[in-house]
Structure 1
């Protein structure tokens, strides 16, 4: 990520770009690498990270194990590449600046809607990331850094709402952001990763109500 992007408050990458293997220099190489990443995601989601083998990924991709080593040093690098390809779709950037003319409840609801829809599309991969973060400190640190960026962004939005007299001024913005963001991510994990049959609209409506009630939020 560029310094300019970071200055604008963009969240950090979900994985360190230095962990995603060799970048192709040809169109053919790019197609081969993309095919391997697609196959790896299929195998990881089907078998789990620990039980996935490079030979299984090669078989899924229709190539030799040697082809994998052209682009990746091992399973951790190809998993990082899978996350890197999917990261923009996996996680919603949280609640940003809410303009004075905006309905803050509608903005929060839209943010929650985007988050749950993205989580539903990538539920298995999100679950894998949690598992890998438990055993690999590199993934754990990167996941934590990205979460903290969202906490900070949401805390800024809460602070702004307090200044405008729309949210409970006694609530600590950073702690509230951590608690509410944690609630959203845990509900997503339960609703989608555990295959509970809750319509997204119901989930969004309930979580948004809990979020706004917790902040004592009122419309402008």
Structure 2
């Protein structure tokens, strides 16, 4: 199954699936404590893996008690879901530079989106590998992974449909299926490079992914 956390070709706000954790704290102090636990959990998960991660190591890293941990999370599964939720926000909104629509072509927007996505994937590569592994053994995380892919797929499908309506992309493609196919291709490319360590040249990744998107969608500069 391909990784479908892949870049959007048109920037817009999107909602990510909610993680199955307790209600988030209402106070600033509570929010800081929860954030510290999530950050500490990420360190331990990336260091030890999911199966070997211990809650006592997370609380030691966060410099808090086990009781404090249980104020915000009920289990290792919940804090792992919170870590993944934070990483998904980074993947959905990776800080792509704003391009002037009047000065930038569709190809340049796609290229910038791929660059931002690959940079975000590189930052989150260890977690993406962990999610891949945990999804194979835990149905809850398998569903979370599916939902993550759906968020990205639907957002890119809207962008593809918009290009089709303006006569800038192949009108015979189903937007959602095209989005999921292209997402899977680019996401798997990122997984092999940044998680498995294929060590392909970064700019070549961006260039290849962009050309494949443009060619597959038959994107044109102006309506025919």
* Same structural fold, with TM-score higher than 0.5 when normalized by the shorter chain: yes
Change (3 A) 1:81 1:56: same
Change (3 A) 1:209 1:58: same
The aligned counterpart of 1:34 is 35
Alpha-carbon distance in structure 1 between the residues aligned to 2:154 and 2:35? 34
Alpha-carbon distance in structure 2 between the residues aligned to 1:151 and 1:32? 33
The aligned counterpart of 1:76 is 77
Higher normalized helix content (fraction of residues)? 1
Change (3 A) 1:156 1:194: same
Question: What is the CA-CA distance between 1:130 and the residue it aligns to?
Answer: 2.4
Change (3 A) 1:32 1:215: closer
Would the aligned equivalents of 1:14 and 1:143 in 2 still touch at CA under 8 Å? no
**What SS is found at the alignment partner of 1:178?**
helix
Alpha-carbon distance in structure 2 between the residues aligned to 1:23 and 1:153? 26
Superposition map of 1:1-220 within 5 A:
10-16=13-19, 19-92=20-93, 103-220=105-222
**What SS is found at the alignment partner of 2:74?**
coil
Would the aligned equivalents of 2:168 and 2:219 in 1 still touch at CA under 8 Å? yes
Alpha-carbon distance in structure 2 between the residues aligned to 1:24 and 1:159? 39
TM-score (normalizing by structure 1): 0.80
**What SS is found at the alignment partner of 1:166?**
coil
Would the aligned equivalents of 1:156 and 1:173 in 2 still touch at CA under 8 Å? yes
Gaps of 5+ in 2: 1-11, 95-100
Would the aligned equivalents of 2:21 and 2:74 in 1 still touch at CA under 8 Å? no
Change (3 A) 1:217 1:85: closer
Where relative contact order (Cα < 8 A, 6+ residues apart) is larger, the structure is: 2
